[in-house]
């Protein structure tokens, strides 16, 4: 099946990033959000990032113009009727996602693939809210999307080989490297990453070392480009907590228990860089 037109649902950082790389790779893109202000901000952010790429001579002014011409925005999800594929990138909440997928299933063409950018929620459960479970798949991009090369392509229980093949081909056209992952809590990336971050928070909680020293150990000792506590701040401590809760509930194993300090920071409104305060303070 040829994918020509894509609707990206959610105009936040992830959604706008996905819309940008799709448009840059030649796809017609419709960016959707229920919030008109968020939609406008998402489109502005895409243009800003493209302008920065022109300034750094990574793309030409013509390439920027062609990319923007392939991008449109809408608050009406029913416009998915003209799309071959959707990529959902909204809040990590199963009730909200399944509501959106029911709408997409109702209005999208019969051939359309419905993908989700969820970082941890079960693809099989999302697919069960539709009448096309074989055409539902996970397509988990890494943040920031225009920079990071990896995409986890996650099969639900009923995802067809044809759907998987079309999405893996699309990832290649987006200049991404895809990995095939089965539908388990946290998939591969977050099942490995989040317990590491959680353990770093436990080390801080128990007074093993300071924030800066824990990050330095991982940067200089393990050659990580960024320390785990800095990374947690960039991901969002609320997001880290949510994924740890998904892992803990999904596996029922105490090794995935979220650190009490992580929960305390989230309850205090310290969500990391986006809130101005996490393990570090941001002006």
Active-site residue list: 119, 140, 152, 190
Is 119 among the annotated ligand-binding positions?
Answer: yes
Closest CA to 266 of 277, 250, 280: 277
Closest CA to 237 of 200, 206, 278, 199: 278
Return d(Cα 160, Cα 162) in angstroms, integer.
5
Is 183 among the annotated ligand-binding positions?
Answer: no
Which residues partner with 57 through β-bridges?
none
Q: Specify the 3-state DSSP secondary structure of 71.
A: strand
- Name the token pair of 158: 């009923």
Is 33 among the annotated ligand-binding positions?
Answer: yes
Is 60 among the annotated ligand-binding positions?
Answer: no
Run of H or E residues at 169: helix 161-173
Question: Do residues 162 and 152 lie in contact, with contact meaning Cβ atoms separated by under 8 Å?
Answer: no
Is 14 among the annotated ligand-binding positions?
Answer: yes
Is 127 among the annotated ligand-binding positions?
Answer: no
Helices (H), 60-160: 61-69, 94-107, 123-127
Return d(Cα 125, Cα 1) in angstroms, integer.
25
Is 223 among the annotated ligand-binding positions?
Answer: no
Give the other-Cβ count within 10 Å of 189's Cβ.
17
Is 13 among the annotated ligand-binding positions?
Answer: yes
Sheet holding 150-155, edge to edge: 71-74, 28-32, 5-9, 85-88, 113-116, 136-141, 150-155, 177-182
Is 219 among the annotated ligand-binding positions?
Answer: no
Closest CA to 24 of 68, 87, 85, 55: 68
Is 236 among the annotated ligand-binding positions?
Answer: no
Query: Which residues sit in the known binding site?
Result: 10-15, 33, 92, 97, 119, 143, 274
Query: Which residues sit in the known binding site for NAD(+)?
Result: 10-15, 33, 92, 97, 119, 143, 274
């Amino acid at each position: 099946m040829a994918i020509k037109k894509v609707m990206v649902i959610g105009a936040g950082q992830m959604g706008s990033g996905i819309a940008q790389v799709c448009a840059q790779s030649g796809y017609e893109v419709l960016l959707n959000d229920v919030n008109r202000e968020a939609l406008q901000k998402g489109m502005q952010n895409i243009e800003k990032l493209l302008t920065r790429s022109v300034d750094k001579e990574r793309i030409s002014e013509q390439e920027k113009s062609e990319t923007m011409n392939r991008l449109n925005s809408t608050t009406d999800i029913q416009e998915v009727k003209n799309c071959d594929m959707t990529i959902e990138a909204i809040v990590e909440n199963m009730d909200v996602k399944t509501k959106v997928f029911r709408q997409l299933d109702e209005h999208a063409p019969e051939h359309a693939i419905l993908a989700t950018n969820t970082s941890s929620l079960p693809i099989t459960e999302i697919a069960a809210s539709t009448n096309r479970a074989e055409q539902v798949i996970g397509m988990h991009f890494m943040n920031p999307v225009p920079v990071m090369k990896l995409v986890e392509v996650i099969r639900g229980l009923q995802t067809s080989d044809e759907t998987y093949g079309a999405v893996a081909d699309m990832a290649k056209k987006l200049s991404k490297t895809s990995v095939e992952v089965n539908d388990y809590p946290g998939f591969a990336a977050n099942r490995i990453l989040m317990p590491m971050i959680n353990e770093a928070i436990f080390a801080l909680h128990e007074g093993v070392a300071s924030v800066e020293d824990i990050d330095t150990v991982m940067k200089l000792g393990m050659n990580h480009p960024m320390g785990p506590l800095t990374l947690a701040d960039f991901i969002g401590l609320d997001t880290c907590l949510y994924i740890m809760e998904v892992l803990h509930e999904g596996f029922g194993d105490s090794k995935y228990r979220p650190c009490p300090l992580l929960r305390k920071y989230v309850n205090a409104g310290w969500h990391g860089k986006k809130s101005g305060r996490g393990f570090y303070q941001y002006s």
